[in-house]
Amino acid sequence: MKHAFEYVSANLPPEFYGYRRDEVKLLSIDRRSGLVSQTPFTSIHQFLRAGDILVFNNSTLVPSSLDAYYPREGRYGRLNFGTGAMRDMLLCEPRPREMGREIEADDTAVLLPSRTTVRFVERHGLFHRYWWLDMGDYTQFRSAMAQYGRYIRYDHIPFDLPPSYYVSPFGSVPGSVEYPSASRPFTQRVLCALQKKGVQTAEITLHCNISSLEPEEFEKADRLLDEEYAVTEANAARILAAAREGGRVLAVGTSALRALESWAGKDRAIHSRTELYIRPGFGFRIADGLITGMHEPNGSHIDLVAAFADDSTLMSAYSTAADLGFRWHEFGDITLIA
C-alpha cells in the first residue's frame, strides 16, 4: 500500500496525558458494506454480537535489547534480539538500522556494560538487515540480558517506559520481543460490557519475533520470520464451539490472527512454529474479523490488515481517521474490521 496521508504517532501511552488506557478512539470498518464509523473505544460492544468470540494473544514482552559498541565501525548503538535460534546462534538486528548494512561477516560487537563480545556470522537468508550471532559464552549473555536488557524501543517512543505500560489484560506467557499491543485498551469495564453483550473470549499464544518487514523486503517475501505459537485444548474447543454456533471469530491483534490461521484446520491443541504471511487475497479459514492498532501504510502489518478490507476502503478509512486525529502505533487508537 502507498503512503497517501499524514498520520500522528502516539509517542506515549494515554495514561501519560491523564487518560485511561481505554480512552482511545475506535475506527470500525464494515467488511460487507464498506461503512466506516468512529466512536470511543469503550463503545466497541455496540459493533459486536452475542456469540462472537474475541481471541487474545496471551504472550507478554521480555527484555531483548542491549547497548553495544561496534569496534570496526567505531560506533555505539544497540543490538535487538529476536526469538529465533539456528545452530546455537541467535537472530539480531543491529541498530541504528544502517549499521546492518555496514557490518560484515566476522565483525564483532561488545555488549555494554557487561563487555561481552559477540560475533556476526552470517546474514539472514531472506531478510538481510538481520544477522545470526555467535554468542560465545551463552551463560554470560543471558546474565547480561537479565541485568541490563531493555524492551525494544523504536524512535517514535522518546524514552524507555516502565514495564507496567506494556502489561495487557490477557498477558501471561513471557516470550515476545515485540509488544502484542492490540489488547492493551481492553480494561475491566470494556470486558464487562462485552460479557453483558454475550461476547466470549479465548486465548492463543504467539511469541512475536523482531520487527516488521521493510517495503523492499515484504514485496519479495512469501513468509515472515518464524514465530512460536500454541493453542491449548480448552481454548481450541472454545473457539470451535463459537464458530459452530454461528459466532464470529475475531482476532485481537495481528499476532493473534497469524496464530489463528496457522492453527486453522487442525481442530486440536498444538504447539508449533509459523512463518505465515497474510496479505491481500489470503483465504481465511477461521477468522471473521480483526481488532488491531493503526498500522503505518509502508510496513508488512498493513498487508495483513488489507487482507480483510480492500485497499481503497482501508486507505480511505485511514485517511479519514488521520483527519479526525487518530493516533498510530502501539499506544494509539484501534481499528475493528468485521
**Is residue 216, in this structure, part of any structural domain at all?**
yes
Q: Are residues 83 and 187 in the same domain?
A: no
- Distance CA(254)–CA(24), nearest Å, equals 19
Q: Are residues 264 and 196 in the same domain?
A: yes
**How many domains does the structure of the chain reveal?**
2
Q: Are residues 282 and 231 in the same domain?
A: yes
Q: Are 88 and 136 in contact (CB under 8 A)?
A: no
**Is residue 3, in this structure, part of any structural domain at all?**
no
Q: Are residues 109 and 256 in the same domain?
A: no
Q: What is the DSSP letter of 67?
A: E
**Is residue 2, in this structure, part of any structural domain at all?**
no
Per-residue confidence (pLDDT) for residue 22, from 0 to 100: 98
Q: Are residues 89 and 231 in the same domain?
A: no
Q: Are 92 and 81 in contact (CB under 8 A)?
A: yes
115's torsion region: left (phi>0), alpha (psi -120 to 50) or beta?
Answer: left
Per-residue confidence (pLDDT) for residue 243, from 0 to 100: 97
Read out DSSP for 163-181? GGGG--TT--EEEESS---
Owning domain of residue 234: 8-61+160-337
Q: What is the DSSP letter of 126?
A: S
Q: Where are the beta strands (DSSP E) in the chain?
A: 8-9, 25-29, 36-40, 53-57, 59-61, 65-70, 75-86, 89-95, 108-112, 116-123, 131-134, 173-176, 200-206, 227-231, 249-252, 270-274, 289-293, 327-328, 334-337
Q: Are residues 144 and 232 in the same domain?
A: no
Per-residue confidence (pLDDT) for residue 292, from 0 to 100: 95
Per-residue confidence (pLDDT) for residue 100, from 0 to 100: 77
Residue whose grid cell is 490472527: 257
Q: Are residues 51 and 138 in the same domain?
A: no
Q: Are residues 56 and 99 in the same domain?
A: no
**Is residue 1, in this structure, part of any structural domain at all?**
no
**Is residue 154, in this structure, part of any structural domain at all?**
no
Q: Are 1 and 315 in contact (CB under 8 A)?
A: yes
Helix (H, G, I), strand (E, B) or coil at 133: strand
How far does the chain reach from its first CA to its final CA, in angstroms?
20
Per-residue confidence (pLDDT) for residue 282, from 0 to 100: 93
Q: Are residues 243 and 331 in the same domain?
A: yes
Query: In 264-323, where does DSSP find H-type helix?
Result: 300-306, 311-323
* CATH at residue 26: 3.40.1780.10
Give the mean pLDDT per block of 10 residues along the chain (338 residues): 70 94 97 91 98 98 97 94 88 88 93 94 90 91 94 92 94 96 97 98 97 68 90 98 98 97 95 93 95 79 80 86 93 96
Q: Are residues 93 and 241 in the same domain?
A: no
Domain boundary pick from 122, 148, 174? 148
Per-residue confidence (pLDDT) for residue 8, from 0 to 100: 87
